[in-house]
Amino acid sequence: GVTRHYKFDIRLKNVTRLCQTKTIVTVNGKFPGPRVVAREGDRVVVKVINHVSNNVSFHWHGIRQIQSGWADGPAYITQCPIQTGQSYVYNFTITGQRGTLWWHAHISWMRATLYGPLIIYPKHNTSYPFAKPHKEVPIIFGEWWNANTEAVINQSLVTGAGPNVSDSYTINGLPGPLYDCSAKDTFKLKVKPGKTYMLRIINAALNDDLFFSIANHSMTVVEADAVYVKPFETDIILIAPGQTTNVLLKTHPNPQQTTFLMAARPYFTGQGTFDNSTITGILMYDNLSASISSSSNTSIKNLPIPTLPPINSTSFVANFSNKFRSLANTQFPANVPQKVDKQFFFTVGLGSNPCPKNQTCQGPNNSSKFSASVNNVSMILPTTALLQSYFFKKSNGVYTSNFPSVPLVPFNYTGTPPNNTHVSNGTKVVVLPFNTSVELVMQDTSILGAESHPLHLHGYNFYVVGQGFGNFDPKKDPANYNLVDPVERNTIGVPSGGWVAIHFLADNPGVWFMHCHFEVHLSWGLRMAWLVLDGELPNQKLPPPPADLPKC
Ligand code: C2O
């Protein structure tokens, strides 16, 4: 591989959306941020220089960071934030991965404007397991607030109420023609007839799973979270925050019109405030005969919006997620750990607001505020980084190694929300010896109305060996695990009122964050960390940190 150098200058920039101009934090003045492009085996070196008053840190979402845990990026987990005037060089090698990933800021809600695609091409002389597409196009969903997003989350943390919902969704930073004065801010994908395009779809939205569809066109899913999958055709995809999905789009050889709408809209099962608006972009055939162009050049607002499932369509979602399978062939084997060394059962869910009498509900901020937790523990971020504390043996007072392997309060979900809002708080990790084969079942508690949670694990891909609704049954459910061709990914939706089982091999030493990728749940404490110890061999150890690692 070669070394690819990037420079991220963190600067303010005035950006106008929805008729309002606001000052946002950007990478190199770009919104969305620049593409980082590399090839499997390359080293990527990104120098971040912080010229703004906010603290920043950057995460390379889905990169395994094998023996480069210092470059993973979540603030207070693997590094202290990069403060005003400081710089930090992220330096990592892309090993055994190719596909679509993305990068984003990993501190507070800074990722609302600091995000971009991270595209990894296969090694030279290696091809895709499908015909080379005519063109590849990143499609990155986001959310836009007219208000300052740091103020939005800080207000929520102070008042204990849910944060204000975003003012629009965006496709490649653009809200599209259905929002006020946004017609000029519409993503247009220009295509030629009879060709195959690969869309590299990324959900960088903060708080919503999204359905996506293109009118009169179907898609073939070929990759999820930078791992090839057995191809399947679909009219609609669902994508959770953090996830990436590559699809092949075949354009019509003789289209009868030039312009089609593409649309995305949230999947949401809970109650409460949410944005149920639809975002649209345009698929536009180029170079068609003038007659078609002029006749179909009507108002975009009159074009039919592609059909999307109802906002709470859990059945579509379950069906869709069951279609993902690893290729599991000789070229791309599925190395599913078959034997398990350690089993964990985690409840994931929201706490309560206000805290009911006779219960403790200590979120990260205040006992009376809204909280979210894993196994009834709402994680408090330390004031120094976990990885540094571990490496320099200064963990005393920073974290404890007693994260519970089962919920603190026994969990039973019978369809009616269980009375299980007990939450404690703390900074606890699970310690795993090197090469531990882990089975983790995550059960959605649905205490405050059903809600799915996209759980993201740093530093690893995992295999999704099982999922289901209701209570996980340790006697029956494991018999149905798929240990042959389960999908391999880094972010999985724990279904609303259901569970998901994953397997991973802890072969990467370091401290690895795991959290809900809904930014609001992350802020409320739905997060924990795994500490994976060094192995015996020199190439199984975490090297010392780079000299410029920021200090708290
Ligand atoms: Cu994409 Cu910890 O995040």
Which of 8-17, 105-114, 365-374, 518-527 bottoms out in mean pLDDT, i.e. has the lowest?
365-374
Note the residue count of the chain: 552
Ligand 1 neighbour 59 (Cβ under 6 A): yes
Specify the DSSP element, H or E, that contains 223: strand 219-224
Q: CA–CA separation, 40 vs 200, rounded Å?
A: 17
Q: What is the ipTM of this complex?
A: 0.99
- For residue 111, which atom of ligand 1 is closest to its CA? 1
Whether the Cβ atoms of residue 420 and residue 411 lie closer than 8 Å to each other: yes
Give residue 349's pLDDT: 87
Range from 148-157, 260-269, 379-388 that averages highest in pLDDT: 379-388
Q: Residue written as tokens 């089609």? A: 260
**What is the distance in A from the centroid of ligand 1 to the CA of 58?**
9
- For residue 515, which atom of ligand 1 is closest to its CA? 2
Q: CA–CA separation, 394 vs 78, rounded Å?
A: 14
pTM: 0.95
Record the tokens describing residue 467, joined without a space: 């999922």
- Considering the chain, what percentage of its residues have pLDDT values greater than 90? 79
**What is the distance in A from the centroid of ligand 1 to the CA of 346?**
19
- For residue 458, which atom of ligand 1 is closest to its CA? 2
Ligand 1 neighbour 515 (Cβ under 6 A): yes
Provide CB contacts within 8 A for 99, sequence distance 6+.
120, 223, 225, 226, 227, 228, 244, 246
Give residue 445's pLDDT: 84
CA distances 172 to 179, 216, 261, 302, 524, Å, are 15, 22, 15, 23, 28
- For residue 242, which atom of ligand 1 is closest to its CA? 1
**What is the distance in A from the centroid of ligand 1 to the CA of 117?**
14
Ligand 1 neighbour 527 (Cβ under 6 A): no
Whether the Cβ atoms of residue 176 and residue 269 lie closer than 8 Å to each other: no
Give residue 188's pLDDT: 95
Record the tokens describing residue 424, joined without a space: 């404690």
Cα 362 from chain centroid?
26
Ligand 1 neighbour 74 (Cβ under 6 A): yes
Provide CB contacts within 8 A for 187, sequence distance 6+.
139, 171, 172, 174, 176, 281, 282
* C-alpha closest to that of 67 among 545, 513, 427: 545
- For residue 513, which atom of ligand 1 is closest to its CA? 2
Q: CA–CA separation, 134 vs 288, rounded Å?
A: 18
Give residue 354's pLDDT: 47
Provide CB contacts within 8 A for 286, sequence distance 6+.
190, 191, 192
Q: CA–CA separation, 31 vs 28, rounded Å?
A: 9
**What is the distance in A from the centroid of ligand 1 to the CA of 196?**
31
CA distances 534 to 46, 72, 543, Å, are 26, 17, 10
Count of Cβ atoms closer than 10 Å to residue 458 Cβ: 28
Ligand 1 neighbour 64 (Cβ under 6 A): no
Q: CA–CA separation, 408 vs 273, rounded Å?
A: 30
Half-sphere exposure in the Cβ direction for 157 (13 Å, CA)? 19
Question: Strand, helix or coil at 150?
Answer: helix
Record the tokens describing residue 525, joined without a space: 């404490």
Count of Cβ atoms closer than 10 Å to residue 333 Cβ: 11
Ligand 1 neighbour 106 (Cβ under 6 A): yes
Provide CB contacts within 8 A for 508, sequence distance 6+.
64, 65, 66, 67, 69, 459, 460, 532
* C-alpha closest to that of 28 among 8, 56, 5: 8
**What is the distance in A from the centroid of ligand 1 to the CA of 345?**
21
pLDDT in tens, 528-552: 999 999 999 999 999 999 999 999 9
Q: CA–CA separation, 337 vs 455, rounded Å?
A: 20
Phi, psi of 531 (to 5 degrees): -110, 110
Query: DSSP readout, 408-459?
Result: SS-----SSPPS---BEEE-BEEEE-TTEEEEEEEEE--TTS---EEEEESS
Mean per-residue pLDDT of the chain: 92
Which of 69-78, 178-187, 344-353, 480-489 bottoms out in mean pLDDT, i.e. has the lowest?
344-353
Which of 77-81, 175-179, 188-192 bottoms out in mean pLDDT, i.e. has the lowest?
175-179
**What is the distance in A from the centroid of ligand 1 to the CA of 157?**
20
**What is the distance in A from the centroid of ligand 1 to the CA of 215?**
31
Whether the Cβ atoms of residue 206 and residue 188 lie closer than 8 Å to each other: no
**pLDDT at position 359 over 80:** no
* 152-169 mean pLDDT: 87
Instruction: Name residue 99's beta-bridge partners.
Output: 120
Give residue 353's pLDDT: 45
**pLDDT at position 2 over 70:** yes
Q: Residue written as tokens 């179909």? A: 296
Give residue 298's pLDDT: 56
